[in-house]
Chains A and B, each alone.
Chain A
Amino acid sequence: MAKYKVIGTRPIRHDGVDKVTGRAQYTNDMALQGMAHAKILRSPHAHARVKSIDTTAAAKLPGVYAVVTGKDFPNLKDKMAELGEGSVNLAHLSANCLAHDKVLYKGHAVAAVAAVNAHVAEEALKLIKVDYEVLPSVTFVLDAMKPDAPILHPDLTTDELGKPGAGNTNIAKHLHFETGDVAVGFKQADVVVEREFKTAVVHQGYIEPHVCTVLWNQDGHVTVWTATQGSFTCRQQTAELLQIPIAKVTVVPMEIGGGFGGKIRVYLEPVAALLSRKSGRPVRLMMNRADVFEATGPTPGTFVRVKIGAKKDGTLVAGQAWLAYDAGAYPSGIIGPGCMCVFSCYEFPNAVVDGYDVCMNKPQMSAYRAPGATQAAFACEQVIDELAAKLGLDPIEFRLKNAVKEGSRRVDGPVYPKIGFIETLQAAKNHPHYKSKLTGANRGRGVAAGFWFNCGLKSSCSASVNLDGSVNLIEGSTDIGGSRASIAMQLAETLGIGATDVVPRVVDTDSIGYTDVTGGSRVTFATGLAAIECARDIIRQMSARAAEQWECKPDQVTFADGVFKGPSKSLGFKELAAIVAQTGEPVVGRATVDPQGATNGFGVHIADVEVDRDTGKVTILRYTSVQDAGTAIHPSYVEGQIQGGSVQGIGWALNEEYFYDGEGRMRNASFLDYRMPTALDLPMIEAVIVEVPNPDHPYGVRGVGETPIVPPPATVANAIHAAIGVRMTEAPISPPKVWAALKS
């Protein structure tokens, strides 16, 4: 008999029909009466001082309602705002929304216009005169670290392990982790492999461009309709940037057309708010595709050096990593998880990791699905692969021998709780794909592993019990990948009712308690936990009401399998709901959580590839992604997350990159030239779910969404090496690079 009634089943998602038929309401699908349409003027230069901005002619164009520049923002100094998953410097955030005295990347916003329609707004932009003093630019991380590099922020000093370090630099942060003694460790090694790797800047590539509609009312209340991963985070950023009380901002999260980490930081909302205040109208502000590429946060390009030593028997003895990550225009901190993840899959008795967050003339980098981990794994997992080959060991056996398990300590300190890496490696090893023979010229098989932390953070839920026993579930986690269903299913399981008896709704920031971003693979875990607690609150209230009915003590009523039992009577959930609705106060459950215990995710991927020697093109023949999901609440969605992350990782591996010219300008800011995978580029990706339940969640959930993007670039690179004997150390491994490597 199955352990659960609802969990592990595959009901049709609550929002499925609306999404398929185009009725689901995304931000740009709604309109308000009298709404103005806004556009942003952007810098054509990668680095320049803004000497003056003349908006007089634009403001006079018929049909123009308002024009704003960076001067319209309050002066914010270097105040830090805590946003749950990280903190931001408000002065930087403000200057990123509309440049103050300098533009730091091509596409940096300098002014915005609201007008009767988008065409008029565009015409008005052409009338704005900006006087730039163009400065030298820098776009490669190692160049930006040089002492004579063009400096982006004259006041920036290096955060040197938490203390202010050198000034006149682009290095925003230096991180250092150490365990044991690497010098001693490398002396014990029989084999040492050391290599350098580069990865290009890539974008989250969500199909829906950033868009919002904002109304700043006469009473000072600001309402924001937007596509965001975190409505409360959006509310806080908007309020802090505009220096208005948080309670005076309401964020209404619309359906969101993808985010993957890129829709957390605000770009448009405060600007649209300023335009709304100035024009007295609701203002819609939408980016075009080039804006999205050039002026939102993609994820860092990197330079990583990894050196690992092992004994003949395959035991790892030492690891050393040096990582330099693009921060972009402002410090972005993605180097942090990069450093923590580079050696996170294996036990290293001796290791040292140094990392640098480096400012340069690119947009401010932001999170992209397991931020920082994929680039680190691209380096580490290739060195591990090479070591296995040198030692004559099967790559999965080699990983099993050194795999982290409960009690292992990461190089940066934390000790692992119950994790399922070994089970995941074993599942990959036993999978028919890994056991099958791969034959044919220029074909090869690769494997690689990946790790992601997963997080908890704050969530709130409330739920009303209706007369007919159905339940309305209210939550604050914006739903990107099916979390409405996975949360509703946990409530349903706890109450002993069906998944379709629960109608989940994501509501605005006035209508539910604080809830952190949809990110960190946390929603099914943490908001799910809130839903479970909410259900338990309902059970408590309904047990008390049953006790009233049955004239017994509340503790004499028990609840199991959807049935309330008293000393002599029992009632099902729905029967009791009908009585409760007619006999007293309504039953509304509520819960807020800030849980610890979101345990880590591990994945192991297997790829078979074929390399075309004439063109350098790599074709994926077969791809299998194995991952520990703790407990899969809705297995289809877990598979969907695993497949989706794998697809993105394959794009990262083979094609996707920002091309910069000598003037620091991105030259491929469109979906035609920034090449994301299509249905034709991929085989069916087989997702294999391993279930090692998380003991800190009632149903054993652990986060799923981010881990699957981590292994693919290294998996594909290892497969290419197996196919053609060439070690590809730069991502993307695009046809020209493979072709050149084959010729040399």
Chain B
Amino acid sequence: MKDQDLAPWPQAGFDRRAFLKGSSAAAAATTLATHATQAQAQAAAPEIVGRQSRLVELKVNGKTASVRVEPRSTLLDVLRYQLQLTGAKPVSIDGSSGASTVIVDGKPIAANTTLALDCVGKSIQTVESLGGEKPDAVVSAFVHADAMQCGFCTPGFVVAVRAFLDKNPGATEEQIRSGLNGNLCRCGTYANVVMAALEVVKGGSRG
């Protein structure tokens, strides 16, 4: 194996000698771990990060959060696994389901195809910001119209509807269907999702 093949490895900061040393240690650790107790299992994992990982600040739901990102870190991974905002869902490596939809600077985007580094300095809004004591009108409408079955795609739809209606507050049914074309619901709850969106249009406010 050529050395350049090793370049993209997570611990690319290692030189070859250090790498070999590390790997035998890891092999030993694996053997040991076979007999590890649960307590040992709960011990902190070694921190392995990419060469260029760094601390950045992201503005999420109005608050500034400090996160450690690698160049390859997606916004979705940072939201879910560092900020514990798990409303946006991992579904695919393309943006084809819409389940990871969040709003960045007013635009709905797929968080799983957006790099976290590209969001520095931008305003990120997730579904979590639409709930709480005074839920957003879209959230209330989804609950009342029962616009869900299994619920997995639902947060993506809620965010997509919010973003679409922000731009098109008087949208018609046809426009809503078109505007939600990027979100998939396999339970087939489209009828109720559209009804919920129309209810928000009728209410004419953000609730």
Chain B's nearest CB lies how many Å from the CB of A265?
A: 18
Interchain CB contact (< 8 A) of B94 among A280, A645, A671: A671
- B90→A480 contact, CB < 8 A: no
Give complex CA distance A256, B89 in Å: 12
From B139, B144, B185, A207 is in contact (CB under 8 Å) with B185
Contacts A63-B11, A209-B90 given; indicate if A21 touches B48 (C-beta within 8 A). Answer: no
- The verdict on B178 contacting chain A, using a C-beta distance below 8 Å, is yes
**Contact string, B131-153, partner A, CB cutoff 8 A, digits 1/0?**
10001000100111011111111
**CB–CB B194/A640 < 8 A:** no
* Interface presence of B125 (CB below 8 A): no
B41 A280 Cβ-Cβ under 8 A: yes
* Interface majority SS (helix, strand, loop, mixed), chain B: loop
Stretch in A27-35, A38-46, A562-570 with 4+ CB within 8 Å of B = A27-35
Query: Are B154 and A20 touching (Cβ within 8 A)?
Result: yes
> B191 touching A60 by the CB < 8 A rule?
no
Pick from A60, A647, A671, A680: contact of B97, CB below 8 A. A671
On whether the beta carbons of B181 and A640 are closer than 8 Å, the reply is no
Q: How far, in angstroms, from A5 to B40 measured CA to CA in the complex?
A: 55
A61 within 8 A of B: yes
Check A678 against B184 for contact (C-beta < 8 Å): yes
The answer to whether residues A640 and B146 also contact, given A29-B86, A207-B97 and a CB cut-off of 8 A, is yes
Of residues 37 to 90 in A, which have CB atoms within 8 Å of B's CB atoms? 59-66
Query: Which chain A positions have C-beta within 8 A of B187?
Result: 258, 481, 640, 644
A21 near B130 (CB under 8 angstroms)? yes
Interface size on A, residues (CB 8 A): 81
**Known contacts A280-B40, A288-B93: A671-B26 contact under CB 8 Å:** no
Segment at the A interface, from B27-35, B115-123, B199-207? B27-35
Chain B residues contacting A25 (CB-CB under 8 Å) are 86
A282 is an interface residue with CB less than 8 A from chain B: yes
Q: How far is the CB of B53 from chain A (nearest CB, A)?
A: 11
Contact: A678 with B183, CB < 8 Å? yes
By size class, the interface of chain B is 35 or more
A278 at the interface (CB under 8 A from B): yes
Task: Enumerate chain A residues within 8 angstroms of B33, measured Cβ to Cβ.
Answer: 65-66, 278-281
User: Which residue of chain B is the closest to A650 with respect to CB atoms?
Assistant: B188
Residue of B with least CB distance to A17: B143
Contact A207 B184 (CB under 8 A): yes
Q: Which residues of B does A touch, CB under 8 Å?
A: 8-11, 14, 19, 22-27, 29-30, 33-38, 40-46, 48, 72, 80-81, 85-94, 96-97, 99, 126-128, 130-131, 135, 139, 142-144, 146-155, 158, 176-178, 180-194
A residues whose Cβ falls under 8 Å from a Cβ of B: 10, 12-13, 15-26, 28-29, 31, 33-34, 36, 59-66, 116-117, 119-120, 123, 204-209, 215, 217-218, 255-260, 277-282, 286, 288-289, 480-482, 636-637, 640, 643-648, 670-672, 676-680, 682, 684-685
**9 cross-chain pairs, A with B, having the tightest CB-CB distances, nearest first:** A22-B87, A257-B152, A280-B36, A19-B151, A647-B188, A21-B131, A644-B188, A671-B96, A60-B23
A–B Cβ pairs within 8 angstroms, 29 of them: A17-B135, A18-B151, A19-B151, A21-B155, A22-B85, A22-B87, A22-B126, A22-B128, A23-B128, A26-B89, A29-B80, A34-B42, A62-B11, A66-B34, A208-B152, A209-B92, A215-B41, A257-B150, A258-B149, A289-B94, A481-B150, A640-B192, A643-B189, A644-B188, A670-B96, A678-B184, A679-B193, A680-B177, A685-B191
